[in-house]
Amino acid sequence: MILITNIVAWRKPWRVSRLVCAVFILCSYAAYATTTLTLRSYFPKERVRARETMNFVVEYLAEDEPWIDDVISRAGAARNSLRSVVGEALLVQVRLVVAPTRELFVKMVGRWAENSVAVAAVRRAEPTVVLNAEAIRRGTPANFQATLLHEFVHIYLGLRCMRPLPRWFEEGVATLAAGEWDTEDAASVTWAAFIGGLIPIHQLEHSFPVDAAVQQLAYRQSASLVQFMMTQRQQSFARFVSNFTGEKGLPEIAQLWNPIYRDPLELSWRKELRSFRNWALLSFHSGLFWAFVAVLTLAAWLVKYLRNRARRREWEEEEKIYQALDEEEKSSASRYADPEEDEDDEPRPPWYA
């Protein structure tokens, strides 16, 4: 038996290598799924707590107990918001892991998420959202709830779409669904288009940049492009997202990965950003706004300076004219004055002055 196995392995080594790779991948994934995204891999068991509801399983440290009720409440509200946005309920129990520090959060999900508040790991058996408790404490409750909704959209798309989506498309849908898109974001993307600073879309298919500023631009670009697609199709958000779910969404998803479809879409989107209709958005861009204010202030000062300078010149010319007239008047008076009468030696009356 051993001999036969060795002969088969010698004759067809590619099968053995494929089998070894598959076993390695499965073992690695199993280790990742069971250890990486649980606090029990980093803390003693007595410090780790777990609370289960119908919709959530929350894992946290004992010292974070006082605010876990609020986490569950806001997660429930975000889940309800998801239903109203996409038109479907999230019929799965979601696991929430509260990482107490930013360092542990990055260690659990990866360095690429060092600027994030939460990250969703879409697993059909147990979808998980890892929360950065340190960032949550610094933010506002409203932002935290929007973040939860953003991550729940990732879970929804991961469960309902039968093929992986490009990263830019998935992040754009999640950003719009969570209401993390406003006029200033649109102005920022428009300004990047005017100065040639947009990130090529094909670079955002699999991953996003780590740098905070570039990463923010990537999120804004993604939302802008998805918004552009919705406008072209003239569909509501829920109807637009439904095009990519289930079996009917397979051709739609395939198009997103196809350069023949993606590249013309990107060109049309860039052309729209640079159109005259979007110029008004530039006034909402904070950096450009203050630069515009500075230019206006400088222009107003320059106009005032030139006006005062011209006025001083007019005054100087008028002064010269007045001086010339005074001199001319004095000259004329001396020229046409009556000559003085000669004094005679005759005695004057006493009243003669």
| Residue 292's pLDDT band (cuts 50, 70, 90) | low
- At 286 the pLDDT is 52
Apex CA 206: angle with CA 108 and CA 100, to 5°?
20
What's the mean per-residue pLDDT of the chain?
81
Bigger pLDDT: 15 vs 186: 186
User: What backbone torsions phi and psi does residue 285 show, to the nearest 5 degrees?
Assistant: -75, 120
- Average pLDDT of the segment spanning 79-90: 92
- At 25 the pLDDT is 38
**Spatial distance between the Cα atoms of 43 and 40, rounded to a whole number of angstroms:** 5
pLDDT tens sequence across 15-54: 434 433 443 333 444 334 434 689 999 999 999 999 999 9
- The label of the residue with tokens 């011209």 reads 310
Residue 288 tokens read as 């450009």
pLDDT at 194 over 70: yes
Sign (positive/negative) of CA torsion 150, 155, 156, 157? Answer: positive
| Residue 284's pLDDT band (cuts 50, 70, 90) | low
**Spatial distance between the Cα atoms of 259 and 257, rounded to a whole number of angstroms:** 6
Cβ–Cβ < 8 Å for 112, 22: no
Residue 1 tokens read as 């038996």
pLDDT tens sequence across 113-151: 888 899 998 876 789 999 999 988 887 777 898 999 999
